[in-house]
Chains A and B, each alone.
Chain A
Amino acid sequence: MSIGPIGTPIEILLVEDNPGDVRLTQEALKDGKVRNNMRVVKDGVEALKFLRREGKYAGMPRPDLILLDLNLPKKDGREVLAEIKGDEVLRCIPVVVLTTSRAEQDILKAYDLHANCYITKPVDLDQFITVVKSIEDFWLTIVKLPRRKGNDR
């Protein structure tokens, strides 16, 4: 069940600094079930600007789902997560933390900051693809996302 008017693609924001991972994620989502637009920002500062539609991001739609890597330059993924979940308007957007780290302290910290879920990127390509597709299955088809009200704040 996609949100919004039928046929509107899902907006996904990928916050990832590694172009290799960006490309992998794009490839993995390419043959997905649900039509989606993936937009990419390379660091935490850009991510927040995008979300607040500042500067060059003025006309951007609000994402329906955020895929967030933890280790980012400039502003760290954890700080971005804290800011998103601390913002009244932004906090309803589900954030999937997708990162290399398997460390318990990272997992705990992420959930503590109210990440919606935490996924470790697998080394194996097939597994990576499976994971991304599962994200798509779960968050975009099974889960009910909050209604996006057009272009308002």
Chain B
Amino acid sequence: MRFSNFVVIKQAVVGYIILLLADVLLNFGFVRRFFRLKEDYNQTNTGYIISASLLLGALFWVTDSVLGSLVFHAESSFLDLLALNIPPYEVYVRTFVILACLVGGLLSSKLLRGQRESDRALQESEEHYRNTMDASLAGIYIVQDLVFKYVNPTMAKLHGYEPEEIGNRLGPLDLIVPEQRDMVRRNFSRRAKGEPGKPYEVKAYRKDGSSFDAMVWGNPVTYRGQPASVWTLIDITERRRAEAKLKHTVADLERSNAELEQFAYVASHDLQEPLRMVSSYVQLLAQRYKGQLDADADDFIAYAVDGANRMQALINDLLTYSRVGTRGKPPEPTDCEAVLDQALANLQVAIEESGAVVTHDGLPTVMADDSQLVQLFQNLIDNGIKFRSEGPPRVHVSAKRLPLPQAGEGRGGGGSEWAFSVRDNGIGIDPEFFERIFIIFQRLHSREEHPGTGIGLAICKKIVERHGGDIWVESEPGKGSTFFFTMRSET
């Protein structure tokens, strides 16, 4: 081999070995610190390798020359001499040595980098979990042999301590009220043994001596190779307080309802009696003094009696209206077809007298108070019959499923709704009055034109709203009316 070619190859090989060495060395902490690299340096940066290599190269050249002059007493470098004057077998040895350095360098570099990366991944993972635990709203703690092994800041804060104060001086049992300590101790040992458990309530102490209600849940875990348990704790004082308040409010409401019911009953009862006196005696007058009184007197008597009768109807209707609230039952799955049948049975006489035809599409099952639903259908259909135009009244009842309401809308709860419609071919309603007709005792016609107290639709509205639905009307004068209302579906 010509001398110059060999030298080039030799220099290239040496250069590569030096690069590898530099890479290997940069895996070591003290080397990195020498080059002022950050601890989290995680990529072989060409710049640093080159500078490291240059340094090493210089070091090598010096060593080579020194060795050459010292060992061989010559003026060329050690490697040059080795290369130029080697007996054949030594070529192989030296080639082997060079190859071994190459491979060794590659391997150790990979190994060291792998080690560094897994160290780094582990550290990142630990940091990740530590951040999570520190940021948790719940208290998190690890207990082993009735001693705190780890307490997150929230846990300390919930008990009114700084994070450093807990753990060393206090044990978990110290933070529990005395009467619960046995139970808690048993639970710690159960969890440590690997028995799973459910969340349960405890009364815990704060630093200032006050106590609060908490819910805790423990799971078995291994800590430093030994069985332990890891727990989460949340403060439920607020929740308990809200529950108590709710119970109070419900009790108040029930009492208020009972009072209202009592009032309505007594009022209607005691109002009826004087009414009867007025009505009966005026009629008795009319009968007893028939012929002795003039036509005017007859008129007067008729008005008086009519007034009394209407008053009685009003009182009864008022009672019915108030009972929608006080006597309502909780909603249950109710078959609307059966409800409609019942309503039609109740309206039998009115239907026959007017020659009305009532039709319907298939009706679903909804969540409702069945007797109130009957009342609702009955009132709407009755109106369709009452407020008729010339031909026989035709009333049609149908239902359509509505899409699910968007999350966050008022009515709450999942499930879909049904929109019912009761369509008639009666006299229709002027849009101006669409709202007014649902008001109690509001009428649009005189009593001669159409009978009734004007409470039917008010009752309908109260029933629908009690079930969480809406009621409205679409109509044109002379073109019939369609009443719509919504009800929650069975699901």
Please list the residues of chain A having a beta carbon within 8 angstroms of any beta carbon in chain B. Answer: 18, 20-21, 24, 27, 71, 100-101, 103, 121-126, 128
Q: Give the chain A neighbours of B283 by CB distance below 8 A.
A: 124-126
Q: Are A20 and B281 within 8 A (Cβ)? A: yes
CB neighbours (8 Å) of B309 from chain A are: 123-124
Nearest 7 CB-CB pairs, A to B?
A: A125-B283, A125-B280, A20-B277, A123-B312, A100-B272, A123-B276, A100-B273
B269 closest partner in A (C-beta): A101
Contact of B308 among A18, A21, A71, A123 (CB under 8 A): A123
CB-based contact A123/B269 at 8 Å: no
Contact of A20 among B269, B280, B287, B312 (CB under 8 A): B280
A24 engages B284 (CB within 8 Å): yes
On chain B, the residues within 8 Å of A128 by CB distance are 276, 280
Taken together as a complex, chains A and B put the C-alpha atoms of A103 and B276 apart, in Å, by 17
Please pick, from A71, A101, A103, A125, the residue contacting B284 in the complex, using a CB distance under 8 A.
Answer: A125
Contacts of B275 in A (CB 8 A): 123
B48 within 8 A of A: no
Minimum CB–CB distance from A126 to chain B (whole Å) comes to 7
Q: Give complex CA distance A120, B281 in Å.
A: 18
CB distance from A20 to the nearest CB of B (A): 4
Q: Which of B273, B287, B312 contacts A18 (CB 8 A)?
A: B273
What are the residues of chain A within 8 A of B265 when measuring CB–CB? 103
| Inter-chain contact B280/A100, CB cutoff 8 Å | no
A17 to B79, CA, bound (A): 138
Q: Which residues does chain B contribute within 8 Å of A24, judged by CB atoms? A: 280-281, 284
* B279 contacts the other chain (CB 8 A): yes
The one of A21, A71, A100, A123 in contact with B279, judged by C-beta atoms closer than 8 angstroms, is A123
Kindly list 18 other residue pairs between chains A and B, CB separation below 8 angstroms, not including A122-B276, A125-B283, A125-B287. A20-B280, A21-B276, A21-B277, A24-B284, A100-B269, A123-B275, A123-B276, A123-B279, A123-B309, A123-B312, A124-B279, A124-B283, A124-B309, A125-B280, A125-B281, A125-B284, A126-B283, A128-B276
Can you identify 6 A-B contacts, CB atoms within 8 angstroms?
Answer: A20-B280, A100-B272, A122-B276, A123-B308, A124-B283, A128-B276
Rounded to whole Å, the gap between the CB of B82 and the closest CB of chain A is: 120
Within 8 A of A (CB), among B251-293: 265, 269, 272-273, 275-277, 279-281, 283-284, 287
